[in-house]
Structure formats: C-alpha cells, structure tokens
Structure 1
Amino acid sequence: MQDAGALLRVAYEAMKELDIDVLEVLSRCNISEDALNDKDLRTPNNAQTHFWQVLEDITKDPNIGISLGERMPVFTGQVLQYLFLSSPTFGTGWERAIKYFRLISDAASVSIDVDGDVARLSVNLDGMTKDANRHLNDCLIIGAFKFCQYVTDNEFKAIKLSFAHSSPKDVTAYTSAFSCPLEFSAADNYIYFDADLLNRPSSHAEPELFVLHDQLASRKVAKLELQDIVDKVRSVIAQQLESGVVTLESIATELDMKPRMLRAKLAEIDYNFNQILADFRCELSKKLLANTDESIDQIVYLTGFSEPSTFYRAFKRWVQMTPIEYRRSKSTH
C-alpha cells in the first residue's frame, strides 16, 4: 500500500508555513528532501503513523492534523485535478476521482452516497483502526473539503462533518476549524453536503479535455498496476532466495503466469527480471552486513549465491566495496 508523493509535498509546504523543522521531520522519517522532487514518488502507507507521531513529538501540537491541514495548499497539479475541472459537473468529477483514486493512495478510498437531498462523501482509510491515525483523518477531511471548495469556486458548503476517531478531550481546534455540526466515533469519515451540488456545472468544463484527462488517468492507473507486478516478483524472490534457484520461470510459475507474459509486463515499465533480482540481493546483502552479525558464508546462503566468490564479485560490482569493507564502514557510524 502506497501514497502518492504529492501528499508529502503538500504536507511539506504546510510544515514550512508552520515553521516546523522540516529537515528534522524528514530525517526521522528516513526521507530525503531531494526525493520530494521525484514526480513518480510513492511512499509506503504504513509509514503514515510514524510520520504523524514524529510531527506531534516535534511540534507538541495535540491537533497537528488540523493545524497542518489548515495550512496545506489545495491538492493541485495532478491529473485528477484536471479531470475534475474539465468534468461537466461536480458529481461527474467525483465519479472519475473515485474510479482513479488509487493515483492518490492505495490505502485510502472515497465514495459518495445520496439520501434524499443530502449527499455524503466518505473518506476511508482501509485497514486502520479508528484512533490509530487521528491526525491523518483530520488532515484528509480538511484536504477533501478544501478541494471541494476549489473545484466549485467556493460554492461547496458542509452540512455536517463526521470523524471515525473518538472525540478528543478538547474540541476547540475542531470547532475553530469547522463552522458546521461535528460528530465523532462515526462509522467512517464523512462530509455531508447538499446533493444538488452534484449537478452543479463546472465552470471549466471542456468535453475534449475531459476525454483526454480520463484516458491519461486510466494509463497512469494501468502503470501502477504493472508496478504491482514488480512488488509481487520481489515478494516471491524473498520466498525462493534461500533455495539458490530463482529464475524468471520459477517466479512466473508462482505468479501463475507464462514466463513470456511476465517478461513483457516488466518490459512495459522498463524493468527486467535480472535487474529486480540483483537489486533485491544487493539491498538484502547491505542490510544483513550493516545490521546483523551473520557470517559472510551465511549471508552468501541467505542471498541465494552458490559460491562466496560469486557473492564477493557481485557485491563489489554493486557497492564498489568488498562485503568486509562495507561492514566495517557501517560499524564506524
């Protein structure tokens, strides 16, 4: 499960606005500031809890999700924004956003239900307990609310907001941030609004651009689905590595695919099996050398090499150091 790097970038802008020590936050989250410039950056969703714990620890703000959300810029510059703006109506924009929401996050999902004259936008975090990520919940609600206002030229108004997490002892930050009724310990995170807004024509509607943006979003999702195959290949490599026999054919069999199909799908995203295997072995070797006392012979076995000499040559090619030199360099830090 991963989130789009764009989420981290808007959080970065909000942290600077709050005068938070951004470099300290990124360092404690093992994120390079340079990585923020990677347009294809995706971050592991399971790192969200740690990110918000670090933020609360550094800022001492018990409502950092609201504080950050209020200062975050509107989520713009992504294909979903352009698709939304070129859609004929606000409701159509959400239909497409729901279809392609994976471009923002694999773990979060959205949906819209209509009951009479009231519509309900659900912002859900799959697999998270209600209180485990209160700050993230709060920030997502504010982000979704801001985006709705942006694409409706500020006509969007919330009738009520519901939060999946329980009510904090002090709700002042919530009542200051939101002027509508609030509910806590709800079944999900919800934004209630006038259902008529779903039929509101977009002032930027453009049928031809809408089709092009829809096609672009579809291609981007397809690319992510292909990237999933790389993750599956790495997972199977981890299972098979100690056997010493890891081949494209054995991986394809495990994934119930023909080797030719697996090779073709990897090529579509400029990957090949040997590259994935080498990268996995390199990462595992470095981790074992730096973080364990395993002998070199045991590491040779764990990384799937048949001979120590083969491992030594490969490691020197990867890192420009011998395994022993690399271990010594890490032990001095």
Structure 2
Amino acid sequence: MGQLTDASVILRFGYQAMRRAGLPTEEILTKAGVALNQIEVNARTPFSAQYAFWTAAEQVSGDPDIGLHLGEHLPLYRGQVIEHLFVSSGNFGEGLKRALAYQRLISDVLNAELVIEDQRCYITNGNSMNVDNLVNRHFSECFMSGVLRFFKFITEGRFQPIFIDFNFSEGASDNEYFRVYECPVSLGQAETRLYFDPSILDYPLWQAEPELLQLHEQLAVEKLQELARYDLVAEVRRAIGSTLESGETTLETVASQINITPRRLRTQLSEANTSFQQILSDYRCRLAKKLLANTNESVERIVYLTGFSEPSTFYRAFKRWTNETPVEYRKRKQR
C-alpha cells in the first residue's frame, strides 16, 4: 500500500466535534491548511494531514488533551456502509467481526482485530500505527471515544469497557481518562487495546435485518474494490514520477515497475474509469504548472523534467491544458 489515507467522514466528524466544542473551527482549519470546501468533498484525505490538524487544534485551543476532549463531542457514527453492515447482523459479535473485515473503509491506519482468550476479550490495533506520537495520541484518544459511543448505541447502553491500554507514554491524568471513558486507562503499553466482557458478543441487535445483510456486504466489497483501484492509480503516479526524466515513461515501463502485465494494467485502469495516458497527462500538467509557478527553472529545463522530447510538443500540450502559453502562465502566477 502506498500513501495512507482516511475516509472523508474522519475530517467531517472532526469538524463537527470542533463546532460542538465551541472551538474556532475556521482558525484551526486555516492553520492546518484545510479549506472549508474540502469537508464537503467525498474524497479520501492523506493520513499525513492529521499531523497539521492536531498540531493546529492543540495550539489554537491551548488544550494538551485536545484529542481526548474532542472525542467527547464526536457525533454518533451513522449512515456509513460499515454501520449498516454492523446493524444488519444478528448479534454484536457478528457485527463486530464484519466491521473489522472492512475497517479500511474508515482509515488505512486501522488494523484492529478481536482477541478472545481465557475469559477475557479485547480489540487491539496492534502496534501498527507507525506515525508521529502527537498524532498517535490525539487520533487514538478521539477515535476511542467514537468507538465506545457507537458500541453503546448499538447495544442499547449495555456495552461497558473494562480497561483501555494505549501505546503512547504521555497522556491525560488517570481521573480525566476515567471521567471520559468510565474505565481505567494504562499508558506506555505495547499495543492499544480495548478490554470488555465477552458476554456482550452474544447480545442480539434490535436493528438486525438479515435480509439486508447480503446487500450491505456487497456494497462494502465494492467500496473496498474502489480503494484498490485508488491504490493502483496512486502507484502508477509514483512510477510515472520516478521514470519521467528518463524519457522512458510508457505503459510498458510503468507496468514492469509495479510488477503487472501491460494488458492487466490497461484493464484495471479502465475499470477505475481512467487510462495510462490520462494519468500521465494529468501528472505532467500538474508538474509543469508547479514548476512554472513556484520556481525559476527555464522552460527548456521544464520540458525535460516533464518528460517531453520536444519543446514544441510541450508547448502544444500546455496550451491544451491551460489555454495559455507556459510564459503567459508563469507571468500571471508569479505576478
């Protein structure tokens, strides 16, 4: 997997939580480099953007426990395919196992599994969150609140956490954790874990709709396939970036680089509603615009960097992309 991403719902829930908490949302988002219109776009966001968001949220709010406290204001997780899949199941345990099978639909950093051993039961995210400590802490604390609220809703308040382990060493006070999570919390553990009574796994779900289960499972499978196509396009872009200057950027060279046959690559890109030429053209266009707007590289050098063999070919392509010549575009952007 290439770049880690989150579903758009993560950003939307964070925005709603900030508003409910009475925080200056626009100031935090601006500081984090997030445009307001991004919140309404139904596209995945890079997980790397979490660092800017949590840094801005902590600085603007002045709250070192911002993740824990924002979690208290998260809206209930509703309306997503995983929620439908969960509530269609016969009991809590079945729903949980199905949700874990499709957790990537929420975020690429989730790698949770259910462990049942010796009369104890827990969900662990392992030690897989190889991310900055600040992000790990705030994201984990906030996400834990969302999970607990959803589990309590789905079981009509019956779900109760027994104990929580976090895999970071600095956090809030014991009392503050107990106030928010209603159970003891231990820091500096090897894994982040949520312990609970295994008997809740058999709790029948009042919303269960077995006849809809197959439909929701099919939808979840389709969403995962969409993500796989998203991964492939990102992989093709990276391969294009690494071969562009050599002038050897063809469908065949890129296919070879990502260990797939050219025919298979062509088919899979077609299934993702795009093509190799479209991705290549888009990559060259973005790169050319960036170099013209933000650097003083000569146009001749940019022709080379964008993988064109002739300046005339580059000029024609750029005119087609922007309806301007490279020189006109640079003057307007650098004015």
Structure 2-normalised TM-score? 0.93
What letter matches 1:308 in structure 2? Answer: P
Q: How many residues align?
A: 331
What letter matches 1:295 in structure 2? Answer: S
- Secondary structure of 1:120's counterpart equals strand
1:268 aligned onto 2:242: no
Distance 1:167 1:243, change over 3 A: closer
Contact 2:29–2:56 (Cα < 8 Å) also in 1: no
Cα deviation for residue 290 of structure 1 reads 2.3
Can you give the 5+ residue segments of structure 1 that lack an aligned partner in the other structure? none
Q: C-alpha distance in 1, partners of 2:172/2:221?
A: 44
Q: C-alpha distance in 2, partners of 1:256/1:179?
A: 50
1:290-305 aligned at under 5 Å gives the runs 290-305=293-308
| Per-residue CA distance 1:214-233 (angstroms, 9 max, x = gap) | 11101110111122110111
Contact 1:84–1:94 (Cα < 8 Å) also in 2: yes
Cα deviation for residue 78 of structure 1 reads 0.6
In structure 2, the partner of 1:115 is 117
1:89 aligned onto 2:94: no
1:178 aligned onto 2:181: yes
- Secondary structure of 2:111's counterpart equals strand
Contact 2:54–2:135 (Cα < 8 Å) also in 1: no
What letter matches 1:263 in structure 2? Answer: R
| Per-residue CA distance 1:65-105 (angstroms, 9 max, x = gap) | 01211001012111000000011111111111111111011
In structure 2, the partner of 1:27 is 30
What letter matches 2:117 in structure 1? Answer: D
In structure 1, the partner of 2:39 is 36
1:199 aligned onto 2:202: yes
1:309 to 307, 312, 335: 312
Cα deviation for residue 132 of structure 1 reads 4.9
Cα deviation for residue 253 of structure 1 reads 2.3
Contact 1:161–1:192 (Cα < 8 Å) also in 2: yes
In structure 2, the partner of 1:188 is 191
Q: C-alpha distance in 1, partners of 2:172/2:313?
A: 61
Distance 1:169 1:81, change over 3 A: closer
1:126 aligned onto 2:126: no
- Secondary structure of 2:72's counterpart equals helix
1:80 aligned onto 2:82: yes
Cα deviation for residue 9 of structure 1 reads 0.7
| Per-residue CA distance 1:86-126 (angstroms, 9 max, x = gap) | 11111111111111111011122211111233211123553
2:231 to 221, 228, 233: 228
| Per-residue CA distance 1:154-203 (angstroms, 9 max, x = gap) | 11101111111113374553232122111111112211110011111111
1:2-17 aligned at under 5 Å gives the runs 2-17=5-20
Cα deviation for residue 131 of structure 1 reads 5.2
In structure 2, the partner of 1:324 is 327
In structure 2, the partner of 1:51 is 53
Q: C-alpha distance in 1, partners of 2:14/2:132?
A: 22
- Secondary structure of 2:112's counterpart equals strand
Contact 1:156–1:197 (Cα < 8 Å) also in 2: yes
Contact 2:129–2:136 (Cα < 8 Å) also in 1: no
Report % sequence identity. Answer: 41
Q: C-alpha distance in 1, partners of 2:107/2:210?
A: 27
Contact 1:10–1:72 (Cα < 8 Å) also in 2: yes
Contact 1:131–1:164 (Cα < 8 Å) also in 2: no
Contact 2:87–2:207 (Cα < 8 Å) also in 1: yes
- Secondary structure of 1:192's counterpart equals strand
- Secondary structure of 1:8's counterpart equals helix
- Secondary structure of 2:6's counterpart equals strand
Contact 1:160–1:180 (Cα < 8 Å) also in 2: yes
RMSD: 1.8
- Secondary structure of 2:215's counterpart equals helix
Distance 1:328 1:60, change over 3 A: farther
Cα deviation for residue 48 of structure 1 reads 1.2
Distance 1:147 1:48, change over 3 A: same
Q: C-alpha distance in 1, partners of 2:58/2:148?
A: 23
- Secondary structure of 1:109's counterpart equals coil
In structure 2, the partner of 1:105 is 107
What letter matches 2:157 in structure 1? Answer: N
In structure 1, the partner of 2:218 is 215
1:279 to 258, 282, 293: 282
1:136 aligned onto 2:175: no
Range moving further from structure 2, 312-321 or 190-199: 312-321
Q: C-alpha distance in 2, partners of 1:110/1:146?
A: 17
Range moving further from structure 2, 85-94 or 244-253: 244-253
Cα deviation for residue 212 of structure 1 reads 1.2
Structure 1-normalised TM-score? 0.94
What letter matches 1:293 in structure 2? Answer: N
What letter matches 1:94 in structure 2? Answer: L
Contact 1:63–1:173 (Cα < 8 Å) also in 2: no
Contact 1:49–1:133 (Cα < 8 Å) also in 2: no
